[in-house]
């Protein structure tokens, strides 16, 4: 690709990022108790395509336990589902995360999660890595970056957020090719920051959070899932396009 093309494409991504607030479309996920903004130029991936992609990932990587995505979004390419960049959203209702667990998550070692994902994704992805988790006490959101070399695709980077609620958490993971990541990472962050749970779901700190029997949240499965989501386009998306 010529340098002028790279400059032009990067400029387009920056315009998309700057224009986010002005042209984002409300996306009500009312059945799951929250609303968020659909970034400009983004579309929702149909449930049928999500289901087909997840079945193909399960077939190709039977040892990879990736949670069902309740929502999936991608930038443009309507009908050509699961092309980069895309976003996967999973709504968990299995219990509230105590605030001290969120605050100390940055001390968690990701080695076990990386090893598990590497084993599960043999022949699909290599050189998997998980960055250090970062907790934002102002928003109670936990962030982590991931990366992998996806067979037939190249280097894919991702940023994931765990948005806690009173009933569990909303997991949001955005993925793009490495060369495009700088232009889309702010879009991923804006989408996460736009999530507004209904009052009964909105996360609140509690005096009970410091009781010892509420400790010990297992981060490994969440981190493994963050890595696995990055291969959806290479495995599940290809299967969907062949079907059509």
Q: Where is pLDDT greater, at 8 or 146? A: 146
Which pLDDT belongs to residue 236?
65
Q: What is the DSSP letter of 212?
A: G
Contacts of 11 (CB under 8 A, 6+ apart): none
Closest CA to 227 of 90, 94, 115: 115
Q: Is 131 exposed, middle or buried (0-12, 13-18, 19+ CB in 10 A)?
A: middle
Which pLDDT belongs to residue 6?
34
Closest CA to 62 of 210, 235, 218: 235
Question: Among 28-42, 156-170, 206-220, which range has the highest average pLDDT?
Answer: 156-170
Which pLDDT belongs to residue 243?
56
Which pLDDT belongs to residue 154?
93
CB 13 within 8 A of CB 183: yes
Strand intervals (E) in the chain: 25-29, 34-38, 42-44, 71-75, 86-92, 125-130, 134-136, 141-150, 154-164, 169-177, 196-197
Average confidence score pLDDT of the chain: 83
Q: Indicate if the pLDDT at residue 188 is higher than 90.
A: yes
Domain at 3-243, CATH homologous superfamily: Mog1/PsbP, alpha/beta/alpha sandwich (3.40.1000.10)
Q: Indicate if the pLDDT at residue 20 is higher than 60.
A: no
**Percentage of residues in the chain having pLDDT higher than 70:** 84
Segments making up each domain of the chain, as ranges: 3-243
Distance of CA 170 to the CA centre of its chain: 10
pLDDT tens digits, one per residue of 198-231: 999 999 988 777 666 455 677 888 888 898 899 8
pLDDT band at 94 (very low <50, low <70, confident <90, very high): confident
Which pLDDT belongs to residue 173?
96
**85 prior amide bond cis, ω within 30:** yes
Which pLDDT belongs to residue 142?
96
Q: Where is pLDDT greater, at 21 or 110? A: 110
Which pLDDT belongs to residue 215?
56
Which pLDDT belongs to residue 28?
75
Q: What are phi and psi of 27, to 5 degrees?
A: -120, 100
Which pLDDT belongs to residue 210?
67
Closest CA to 73 of 186, 188, 234, 154: 188
Q: How many residues does the chain have?
A: 244
Strand intervals (E) in 63-124: 71-75, 86-92
Which pLDDT belongs to residue 55?
87
pLDDT band at 157 (very low <50, low <70, confident <90, very high): very high
**Picking from 18-32, 118-132, 139-153, 185-199, which range would have the lowest pLDDT averaged per residue?**
18-32
């Amino acid at each position: 690709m010529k340098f002028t093309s790279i400059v032009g494409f990067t400029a387009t991504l920056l315009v998309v990022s700057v224009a986010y607030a002005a042209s984002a479309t409300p996306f009500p996920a009312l059945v799951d108790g929250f609303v968020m903004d659909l970034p400009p130029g983004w579309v929702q991936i149909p449930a049928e395509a999500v289901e087909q992609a997840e079945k193909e990932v399960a077939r190709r990587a039977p040892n990879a336990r990736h949670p069902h995505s309740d929502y999936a979004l991608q930038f443009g390419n309507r009908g050509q589902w699961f092309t980069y960049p895309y976003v996967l959203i999973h709504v968990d209702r299995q219990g509230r995360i105590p605030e001290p667990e969120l605050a100390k998550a940055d001390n968690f070692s990701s080695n076990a999660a990386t090893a598990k994902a590497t084993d599960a994704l043999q022949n699909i992805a290599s050189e998997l890595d998980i960055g250090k988790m970062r907790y934002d006490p102002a928003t109670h959101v936990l962030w982590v970056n991931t990366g992998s070399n996806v067979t037939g695709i190249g280097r894919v980077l991702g940023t994931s957020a765990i948005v806690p609620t009173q009933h569990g958490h909303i997991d949001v993971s955005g993925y793009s090719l490495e060369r495009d990541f700088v232009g889309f990472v702010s879009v991923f962050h804006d989408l996460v920051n736009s999530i507004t749970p209904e009052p009964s779901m909105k996360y609140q700190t509690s005096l009970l959070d410091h009781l010892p029997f509420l400790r010990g949240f297992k981060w490994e499965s969440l981190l493994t899932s963050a890595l696995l989501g990055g291969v959806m386009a290479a495995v599940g998306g290809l299967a969907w396009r062949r079907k059509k």
